[in-house]
Structure 1
């Protein structure tokens, strides 16, 4: 039994082993703080390893005079590190009482020497955090063990995997109401496989820690595309998350324009003139008070539409993305289900978008996909050109059907597998099935012909959608055979909760009335 237990322990994935080693040292620091400690140290280890490797190459080439020339490192996409920013220096000083200050200085000096990293690394963070020197030193010792990973043939990809794994684990630990910096990889993979960002400009208006960009590049590589044919543009409002994105992309070797600083996409648009070929996004759900009543009322992003209401930013995000699409641009983004059927101004905007033939597909997703919320959400696909056309992608000529006026509805609520006890994630087969269905619907000469499938998918005409009040709730269109799925269960749940609250209120009032009767008779009774 002991041997089996030992084998089981050794079989743990490498990322999980490293996570447990680092997380054991967290102590009293909250996950929201601790993630910046761990992830920036991983970055320092990564940068230090490649600096030393490049340094030895320069010496081996007989160019010792240039061993401290920033250009000789930048030419190989390696960050130049001043002596006090090198991992060896930090490791040697890991047990010193001022190690926190030394880490702060290391990060600051790296930023000064490397323009791509300006604004990317924590600023005077470790000293202000109050982490015990002994624990910080132990953490440095643990991360020092990454040498074997970095020295392997695919070391860069592995350290990227570790970084990504840590991001997801921190998001899970922070739980509901937090963790918005991370979109679960399973959702990003679904978007990438559907919209296929092979080449061109990719934009994310609320990029978090950069996961959309990482998975886009993985998609390009897995389909034997050329990363150099893709350029990345993003924006992030939260300063600490902006830094996470910069580090994440630096570790992956992804050059990106995220603007010079963290900024609000609505009030300080860093890419106002951008026309993107692909947009991938997971905006904050149902964001309230995103603008003042008299602010952005005539913004050019709403041209042709009503101004989105201050009470909910969902359609503000949608119209921002619509304004950024190129003539053949495609967007895939996540929104809370309420946007599918909201009335008033939002309903008017949705109707206009459908009349303008922008909406291509609506995919309703299962609950519990996100670590920060358990609400049901939807993947929207917008397409600026749904008419028949041909494009060349990765050397292949693709011909698209003319789907003018049609929208493909897909229901994924019965898909997915359990993950981390209380969450759900899609399997590779789930993603392939949905992407294949979407592409068969889109393309001429597809490997399989498209057909509506009960309880899974339906291609609705403009007239059908108009007849249903321009609602985009999938269950209004998809046929359900053995159960009543014509109900929007999120709305119905709210109705039932309201009814229950009303029943409880009436019961409380009845109890109070009974008590008053007994009191009037001179009885002291509690119910």
Structure 2
């Protein structure tokens, strides 16, 4: 038996996760995973501890080498130093395995293959962990009673639904059928997962058995319950959703809002307690970040209730799996449905709304449909050619009296006067609903190059005490709107995409909170080029346009202490030198043209 087989067999015989084994022998979960795949070896001390645990001699582990000379940098054929290869993260390794499905499966489909298997592995690991707990408590007689699992928010799994069964049969010709059967059984036996899992998906796709087996083996190395603080499976899910969006472009990213944008909305509206709603929830990213926000500020996720709706059936399933994996209880409605025509939460009044509606959605209703809808009451009917203002009015109708909404829209929404949209915006401003407007940098989204902005809407700008993680006083902001121009923020993360940094997010949120009067964020001041508070009269004077650049002005240029006359003299000399150079170049070009027979 090889060393990697010895470690894997011994660990599984004791029912240990990779993380738990690592803690027992002084290693990380990732290192144990590398032992079991032959990418690393235990140290002599770790080998001795493994031998004690497994009860049979470990394959020989060579003693640690003596300190060697400082390694020389590898060189290429030209004698130049070559940088060492960067070690891949386990997420990247898993992605590389999954990416081999390309060609076998449509790119728009294979995310569901990968994420369904990760989901199945996760709920199986939770099931096995709970099963061991029941046995350890001396309640072995109840080990197959469903109630003993559901009481701990664990899904009960029959034998053929467990990951161990799938992994054992990974190389069988009918593995796709077995996976479909497992997913169907899990959904049938667990009410909260109704409508969440793919139906006969793997059988229909006809994936090559060897590729599916390789993917199953890679996923088998994820220890999903080793470290509850680390949220390993959540990390993998988030990584994969982002990678799918990046590699598939528009079609793949429709369900995905960049993490930094979601973080910013959460930090701005601070959803500590109450009902959170997303009318177009995609894969559930807004909800995940809301809960992370609460937990990172030592709040209790049980203090928030989550409501959402999603039109696309496959994305609806993604959201249900994404949220179930993280133990987030959610009401996404009974079925995937159109928010405008089949509202799944007709009586909801939300304390917080977070959304990234489809940009500039055309033909969202027929010309004679929804003309008397109560959501437009007091406003013009949103035009059929663009749903932006339909989304805005829908969200306003869902806000509680003290609620706040933060959402993403295309920049055009801030200034359009097309087909009555300007009249709707004017009425919103006159009703004092617009709290804050933020112009975002370009290149944040995988799905579009359209410039985007954030809107923040509230029904109550009066002075009030907001209950939450720590109560905060909001000053009276009636008749005011804060404008923030963040277009120059962010950093490039690759050739074509930018990301807001944590410092950027903190500065924007701090500015908003200070303006609202929250003492913890200090006193607010207008900052030319970045932020400005405008009154209703100022906005009216700008034709009710909400583009931040109209209000914040240009950034102040720091005085470097050099007198104007001196600067002007230096610039003039530079200009003269460039003019002389221009004459020389013109002469040279004329000569070259004459040589070619084109002289004047």
TM-score between both structures, scaled by the size of structure 1: 0.88
Shift of 1:444: 5.0
TM-score between both structures, scaled by the size of structure 2: 0.78
Q: Which residue of 2 aligns with 1:62?
A: 138
Cα gap change, 1:96 to 1:312, in 2 (>3 Å): same
1:378 aligns with 2:453: yes
Shift of 1:447: 3.7
**Superimposed CA distance per residue, residues 428-459 of structure 1 (whole angstroms, 9 cap, x where no aligned partner):** 00000000001111115354211111111110
Shift of 1:91: 0.7
Residue pairs, 1:241-280, within 5 angstroms: 241-280=315-354
397-406 vs 98-107, which moves further: 397-406
Shift of 1:287: 0.1
**8 Å contact 1:177–1:373 — kept in the other structure?**
no
Q: Which residue of 2 aligns with 1:491?
A: none
Aligned residues: 479
**Superimposed CA distance per residue, residues 351-407 of structure 1 (whole angstroms, 9 cap, x where no aligned partner):** 11111111000000111111110110010000111111112221x231111111111
**Superimposed CA distance per residue, residues 197-254 of structure 1 (whole angstroms, 9 cap, x where no aligned partner):** 0110000000000000000000001111111100000000000000000000001100
Q: Distance in 2 between matches of 1:246 and 1:361?
A: 32
Q: Which residue of 1 aligns with 2:86?
A: 9
**8 Å contact 1:70–1:113 — kept in the other structure?**
no
SS of the residue corresponding to residue 217 of structure 2 reads: helix
Q: Which residue of 2 aligns with 1:132?
A: 208
1:150 aligns with 2:217: no
**8 Å contact 2:435–2:458 — kept in the other structure?**
yes
Q: Distance in 2 between matches of 1:5 and 1:38?
A: 35
1:389 aligns with 2:464: yes
1:186 aligns with 2:260: yes
Cα gap change, 1:91 to 1:198, in 2 (>3 Å): same
**8 Å contact 2:382–2:389 — kept in the other structure?**
yes
Q: Distance in 2 between matches of 1:153 and 1:54?
A: 14
Q: Which residue of 2 aligns with 1:358?
A: 433
129-138 vs 203-212, which moves further: 129-138
Which of 351, 360, 367 is equivalent to 2:442? 367
Q: Distance in 1 between matches of 2:182 and 2:164?
A: 12
**Larger-Rg structure:** 2
Q: Distance in 1 between matches of 2:554 and 2:345?
A: 44
Q: Which residue of 2 aligns with 1:103?
A: 179
**8 Å contact 1:305–1:352 — kept in the other structure?**
yes
Root-mean-square deviation (CA), in Å? 1.7
1:141 aligns with 2:217: yes
**Superimposed CA distance per residue, residues 40-70 of structure 1 (whole angstroms, 9 cap, x where no aligned partner):** 0000100111111111222222323322222
Shift of 1:256: 0.1
Shift of 1:482: 7.6
Shift of 1:31: 2.4
Cα gap change, 1:153 to 1:275, in 2 (>3 Å): closer
Cα gap change, 1:445 to 1:174, in 2 (>3 Å): same
Shift of 1:265: 0.4
**8 Å contact 2:104–2:208 — kept in the other structure?**
no
Q: Which residue of 1 aligns with 2:585?
A: none
Residue pairs, 1:209-248, within 5 angstroms: 209-248=283-322
Q: Which residue of 2 aligns with 1:398?
A: 472
Q: Which residue of 2 aligns with 1:92?
A: 168
Q: Distance in 1 between matches of 2:98 and 2:240?
A: 10
Q: Distance in 2 between matches of 1:406 and 1:9?
A: 51
Q: Distance in 2 between matches of 1:199 and 1:115?
A: 26
4+ runs of 1 displaced by more than 4 Å? 2-8
Q: Which residue of 2 aligns with 1:449?
A: 523
Q: Distance in 2 between matches of 1:106 and 1:9?
A: 38
Q: Which has the higher contact order (CA 8 A, sep 6+)?
A: 1
Q: Distance in 2 between matches of 1:481 and 1:425?
A: 22
Q: Distance in 1 between matches of 2:513 and 2:227?
A: 37
SS of the residue corresponding to residue 279 of structure 1 reads: strand
**8 Å contact 1:454–1:479 — kept in the other structure?**
yes
**Superimposed CA distance per residue, residues 179-214 of structure 1 (whole angstroms, 9 cap, x where no aligned partner):** 111111000000000000011000000000000000
Cα gap change, 1:481 to 1:153, in 2 (>3 Å): closer
SS of the residue corresponding to residue 312 of structure 1 reads: coil
1:112 aligns with 2:188: yes
Residue pairs, 1:7-86, within 5 angstroms: 8-10=85-87, 12-86=88-162
